[in-house]
Amino acid sequence: MRLILASVMFVVAAGAQADDCSKWGASMEEGEGGSRMVARICNAAGGELTIECGAPGTLAMAFGPPGGFTPPGDNPEFVGRFSIKVGSQSFERDMTYADMDSLLYLDLKSKDDLTAALGKAEAISFASTKAGIAETKFPLNGAASALKKVKAACPRG
């Protein structure tokens, strides 16, 4: 009986985590530098997108492609050009690979066109032929509220 109950609780907990991740949310998370506010979403394919405070006046966006990412030639200092689409707008930006996290990072200026578009469109997608990443899409419903919480937690600068 205990085993069945434990199994049911595990399945319910796993389902709750999947539901939480598939919608934008912002919460305090522990990291190397201590607690920080992070906005997060994932997609059904297994990709993840986070946004948190960067240097004063910037936000740090981290993109984790589905299935993880190994840069071409295992280059730990890989920088790749990405096509980022937000609604009907397209942006070409360089994203930097962080070997320690296996994520691709982009610094966004708080008053950048890409940053402004995040709260106004239905979806954002990332693609890069140089990095071998097919289009990976995330919904933006709820992103404006999550980003507002992150921005409120960022140092002024």
For residue 70, the surrounding DSSP H or E stretch is: none
Q: Assign 7 a pLDDT band (cuts: 50, 70, 90).
A: very low
Q: Assign 20 a pLDDT band (cuts: 50, 70, 90).
A: low
Determine the average pLDDT of the residues in 62-69. 93
pLDDT digits (tens, 9 = 90+) for 114-129: 998 988 899 999 999 9
Q: Is residue 52 within 8 Å of 39, Cβ to Cβ?
A: yes
Q: 22-27: long-range contacts at Cβ-Cβ below 8 A with a sequence spacing of 24 or more?
A: 23/141, 23/142, 24/139, 24/140, 24/141, 24/142, 24/143, 24/145, 24/146, 25/142, 25/146, 26/145, 26/146, 26/147, 26/149, 26/150
Determine the average pLDDT of the residues in 58-85. 94
- Choose between 105 and 13: higher pLDDT: 105
The domain of 149 spans 2-153
Determine the average pLDDT of the residues in 76-87. 95
Can you give the pLDDT at residue 9? Answer: 29
CATH number for the domain harbouring residue 11? 2.60.40.1880
Residue 19 exposure: Cα atoms within 13 Å on the Cβ side: 6
Can you give the pLDDT at residue 1? Answer: 38
pLDDT score of 156 more than 90: no
pLDDT digits (tens, 9 = 90+) for 23-65: 999 999 988 778 999 999 999 889 999 999 998 889 999 999 9
Q: Assign 157 a pLDDT band (cuts: 50, 70, 90).
A: low
Q: What is the pTM of this model?
A: 0.82
Q: Assign 110 a pLDDT band (cuts: 50, 70, 90).
A: confident
Domain count within the chain: 1
